[in-house]
A and B are shown apart, each in its own frame.
Chain A
Amino acid sequence: MSIVTVQLGQCGNQIGHEVFSALCSDIRGTHGLCSKEENQSYQDCCKERFFCQEESAVPVARAVLVDMEPKVISQALSMAASSGLWSYSSRSHFCQKQGSGNNWANGYCVHGPRHKEAIMDLVQREAERCDRLGGFFTIMSMAGGTGSGLGAFVTQCLRDAFPTSFILNHVIWPYGTGEVIVQNYNSVLTLSHLYHSSDALLVHENDVIHKICAQLMNIKQISFRDVNQVLAHQLGSVFQPAQPAGGGSGYSRNPLGDLMESLVPHPEFRMLGLRNIPQMPESSLPYSTFSWPGLLKHLRQMLIANAPMEEGIDWQVRPPQPGSSIPSTNKPLHFNTSIANLLILRGKDVHSVDLGSFQDPSLYTSWLNPQDAFNAWKTPRAFNKYEKSAALVSNSQFLLKPLDSIVGKAWNMFASKAYLHQYTKFGIQEEDFLDCFTTLEQVISSYTNL
């Protein structure tokens, strides 16, 4: 089953390019650590999912590139082409000349309707090129104007045009200390709108990835390219082929569907966080050895203590004791309650790994059986030169604090009415803002009361 990726805005297009590069580099690698057949099967599956190889010499990404100014798309296209390993289709991009000016209203109310036909046309064509369409993966930042505003509009269009397809929005949360001054407004508008049309939001926070670059990857002068490459590695570790446990011997035929089924039992809870272990500079890999118990122990603690990476974890945080009926408000502070978790394990000895620690009921809310709340996918095929690696996709309170912070700052600015004239001039009124705030306060409340 194939996934169509929609890259929106500068961020979406820069990241999208890194993702396809990472996927391609992984399948070409000779470090699979598995049988030749397994490797071949993995390659074929990845290619079918993300690439098309009809008439061209190299795999062509199943992607639609959208931006309101030409420079970034132009770069993405040429970088891909010059790699010689994969490319974008020359007819799958849409751009304009002007940009959205970091204005969500401009992206949503003006560019959206104006360019809907042209964009959806490209999406339709890309969808038709798939033997079986497994759904859509959109990549966007929520801080700017195009990815955020036009992205929200396009997501709605996708939902209308493909009512039975899965839509996963990959949303980048900006650095807390601005990249864009009106980023909190744009974020509130984006998240509330996506909540109504998307199936799930997979979130990456720039602050978190930046820390990983600084502390784990040892990069001195961190560029956005570095950040995007770490991001791409994390996404690859989720989306490369893997076998759902107990689902027979083949790779998942419906990765997005499986993801949604495992992680989104209730429409009110759609925010997914992502953690990956281990992460280190490529040069250190040959000198490192890992054990599954060690990796999983760290990953579990990263989950319950809401740590962004395997360094600096607070080991004091413990789940509440089972057996005692503790009302949710008395749960130990800083403990991250989960609704559902998905673990994806890749590499040596995956099938003998003990996952009991993740099935502990005290990690979860009481609505689902722990067997349903926890799922695992595995493959013996190693990913991106890591002999063993694990990714955790979690529907939990991971994003509660950052979300609350964004809404708080946006509300603070809204109360002073600063910048509102920039939005009203393109069609977003104060009442629209209030609706969005209401939606998100509801989400915050729901996640708080787990």
Chain B
Amino acid sequence: AVSLPFAVGQCGNQVGCRFWDLALREHAAVNKKGIYDEALSSFFRNVDTRSGDNGPDIYKGKICSLKARALLIDMEEGVVNEILQGPLRDVFDSKQLITDVSGSGNNWAVGHKIYGCQYRENIVEKLRKTAEHCDCLQCFFIIHSMGGGTGSGLGTFVLNLLEEEFPEVYRFVTSVYPSGEDDVITSPYNSVLAMKELNEHADCVLPIENESLFEIVNKIHQMINSGKLGSTVKQNSLVTSSAGSAKTLPEKPFDAMNNIVANLLLNLTSSARFEGSLNMDLNEISMNLVPFPRLHYLVSSLTPLYTLADVNVPSRRLDQMFSDAFSRDHQLIQADPKHSLYLACALLVRGNVQVSDLRRNIERLKPSLHFVSWNQEGWKTGLCSVPPVGHSHSLLALANNTCVKPTFIELKDRFMKLYKKKAHLHHYLQIDGMEQSCFSEAISSLSDLIEEYNELDATKGGPRIDPSRLKIAV
């Protein structure tokens, strides 16, 4: 089954670029014989390019030329052009790109209303062509940031479009949320306008915060430079490393952070691509982690962040990996799940880990976590045999937890600060199709979401009253 990523905007495409790079590396490590297999087919087509770029797809046999199944969308050319000139140029062809020159000026309305309208047909056509090459399309991934104009506005336009054109295909969104110190002044407007779309049209959202990524990068940096004897790190095991990079940290400043997000996506899809004793498909993630339609925001944490190269240093105990997944150091957003309420939790394990290891650790960690009364044993688990490159095992934890509430409340506050003064509003309202009501509806949608989390939080710690069972006449 195919997962189709859409990278929209500058951030989306930078992350996307890292994703394809690491995906190729992962498959190369596993696929030694160069045969095009089921695992590869979820992200790549195999094209016969001997007679040019428009060759037919080869469904079996040796790998000829791998082409990524993706759409790269940006209203500026800089990032996409770079990709096409870099080592990944052969992985994409022009039919997968939708670009323009002037950008969206950090304006959600420009991305959503103007470019949306302008490029709708183009996007639908390219989407259909790409989908034609997939024998079974299971899931769309949108990778974007919330704070700008293209990723945020056009990205959420694409989300709507996907629901209209392919209503049965799951829509996962990886969204980078702006921080308080974001240098784009209008990022709260863009984010809240985009949130409404995510509330209504996404199946699952994985919010990411730059601060968390930055802290992870720093932690690794410190570890490497601490100079502890015997603690050399395996380069390719770093959650921040790019494929084939000889240096500790890659050149471009955001590459390390973007690699973390790329690894998130690889781990998320690993069980769908590779075999294991307890498979976890993407539709299962949506099924088990979304108890009510709008509560679909999942906190992710990745572990381990690196592996030690020195064989004399005992590898971190397996149980440590599980504990780390529940520590804030490994989360991709700044939130506190341990002190909030879990609605559901998923553990996607890769590598040499068995069901008894899973069970032991769930039993161990359970008592310190608060689960909602109607889902006391709410754990979804998956075991994939293939570990990530450079590791013997890894864990991705996804939590549906009310701890996302403060993030949304802060976002709402920042929005209101601007909105009350009507600051910069005219840039939006002058766009065709934009009205004051777009703003009031968006903030209302966010407020409702926050209220749903509030109601759940109110049940935390309260007395547990199980509903009485049906009575049967004997």
Contact = CB atoms under 8 A, between A and B. Distances in A.
A4 B288 CA distance: 33
Contact of B277 (A176, A178, A220, A223): A223
Interface string B355-382: 1110100110010000001111111110
Contacts of B38: 70-71, 74
A69 B373 CA distance: 33
Interface stretch (B19-27, B65-73, B210-218, B279-287): B279-287
A181 B344 contact: yes
Contacts of A421: 292-293
A148 B474 CA distance: 29
B164 interface: no
Contacts of A94: none
Interface string A381-408: 0000000000000000000000000011
A292 B344 CA distance: 49
Q: Which of B136, B279, B287 has the most CB of A within 10 A?
A: B287
Interface in A373-387: none
B374 A416 contact: yes
Contacts of B86: none
Q: Which of B278, B292, B355, B366 has the most CB of A within 10 A?
A: B355
Nearest to B281: A99
Contacts of A434: 470
Contact of B279 (A71, A223, A417): A71
Contacts of A225: 277
A101 interface: yes
A221 interface: yes
B469 A441 contact: yes
Contact of A419 (B136, B291, B466): B291
A223 B289 CA distance: 25
A386 to B, nearest CB: 25
A268 B215 CA distance: 61
A33 B346 CA distance: 50
Given A177-B362, A222-B356, A419-B291, A69 B278 contact: no
A411 interface: yes
Contacts of B376: 409
Given A99-B1, A441-B470, A177 B363 contact: yes
Contacts of B160: none
B381 A178 contact: yes
A179 B381 contact: yes
A412 to B, nearest CB: 5
Chain A, interface size: which category? 35 or more
Given A103-B287, A422-B287, A176 B470 contact: no
B467 interface: yes
A102 B287 contact: yes
Contacts of B283: 98-103
Contacts of B357: 221
A214 interface: yes
B324 to A, nearest CB: 20
Contact of B375 (A226, A418, A441, A445): A418
A310 B322 CA distance: 33
Contact of B354 (A70, A222, A415): A222
Q: Which of B135, B278, B356, B381 has the most CB of A within 10 A?
A: B356
B379 A101 contact: no
Nearest to A407: B469
B356 A14 contact: no
A222 B383 CA distance: 13
B474 A449 contact: yes
A224 B288 contact: no
Interface string A69-113: 111101100000000000000000000111111110000000000
Nearest to A101: B283
A181 B288 contact: yes
Given A214-B356, A223-B277, A412-B467, A178 B291 contact: no
Given A182-B288, A224-B355, A437 B135 contact: no
A176 B377 contact: yes
B290 interface: yes
A442 interface: yes
Contact of A224 (B275, B277, B289): B277
Contact of A181 (B1, B277, B289): B289
Interface in B221-244: none
Contacts of A14: 277
A170 interface: no
A413 interface: yes
A10 interface: yes
A210 interface: yes
A326 interface: no
Contacts of B474: 445, 449
A295 B200 CA distance: 62
Contacts of A224: 277-278, 354-355, 383
Contacts of B281: 69, 98-99, 101
Given A178-B381, A181-B378, 18 more contacts: A14-B277, A69-B1, A69-B279, A69-B281, A71-B38, A98-B283, A102-B288, A177-B362, A178-B378, A179-B380, A182-B287, A210-B355, A222-B356, A223-B354, A408-B466, A415-B467, A421-B293, A441-B472
24 contacts: A10-B279, A69-B281, A70-B38, A71-B279, A72-B275, A98-B1, A98-B283, A101-B281, A101-B283, A102-B288, A175-B359, A176-B377, A210-B355, A214-B356, A220-B356, A221-B354, A222-B354, A223-B354, A413-B374, A413-B375, A418-B291, A437-B470, A441-B472, A442-B472
6 tightest A-B CB contacts, nearest first: A101-B283, A97-B136, A222-B356, A415-B467, A418-B291, A223-B354
